[in-house]
């Protein structure tokens, strides 16, 4: 246990030094913006909403398959999901979109889709409906 307490003390001291150093650098005005200029999550959500408005019968399964394929870096085999995945992957090459922000946005959307997946029998396509409601309220 003594080693663990000593390790905790050293980690806390390092965190304090790091935070002091960052606050000193931040006050100088040289800090880089932490958020990208363009939000890839917003761009992907807009593509998903376009899919909802264009498709005659939009499906959470298609949207989730496209998002998961983009996270893996491949393309789905079925056509609607493949087309949507190609459009979503194009967001990564947009100016101002970092690879890290793109991957984070995809991950967050997959997690949100998983939260709505459990109610598929009661409310089909709950994820796309959720995104539509959020976009309407903004």
pTM: 0.68
Give the alpha-carbon dihedral of 109, 113, 115, 120, to 10 degrees.
170
Question: Do 70 and 83 touch, CB atoms closer than 8 A?
Answer: no
DSSP letters for 52-99: HHHSSS--HHHHHHHHHHHHHTS--SSHHHHHHHHHHHHHTTSTT--H
Residue 48: CB atoms within 10 Å: 24
Please state, in angstroms and as integers, the Cα–Cα distance from residue 105 to each residue in 9, 40, 53, 136, following that order. 35, 6, 21, 20
Question: Do 116 and 126 touch, CB atoms closer than 8 A?
Answer: yes
**Token pair for 123:** 């409310």
**Band of the pLDDT at 2, cuts 50, 70, 90?**
low
pLDDT digits (tens, 9 = 90+) for 60-103: 899 999 999 999 999 999 889 999 999 999 999 998 889 999 99
Domain map (residue ranges) of the chain: 1-32, 40-137
pLDDT digits (tens, 9 = 90+) for 43-64: 999 999 999 888 888 888 999 9
């Amino acid at each position: 246990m003594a080693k663990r307490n000593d390790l905790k003390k050293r980690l806390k001291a390092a965190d304090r030094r790091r935070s002091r150093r960052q606050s000193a650098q931040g006050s100088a005005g040289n800090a880089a913006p932490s958020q990208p200029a363009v939000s890839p999550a917003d761009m992907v959500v807009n593509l998903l909403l376009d899919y909802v408005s264009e498709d005659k019968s939009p499906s959470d399964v298609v949207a989730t398959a496209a998002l998961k394929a983009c996270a893996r870096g491949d393309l789905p085999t079925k056509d609607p999901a493949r087309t949507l995945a190609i459009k979503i992957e194009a967001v990564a090459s947009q100016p101002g979109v970092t690879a890290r922000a793109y991957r984070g946005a995809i991950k967050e959307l997959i997690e949100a889709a998983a939260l709505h997946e459990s109610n598929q029998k009661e409310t089909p396509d709950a994820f796309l409906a959720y995104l539509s409601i959020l976009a309407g309220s903004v």
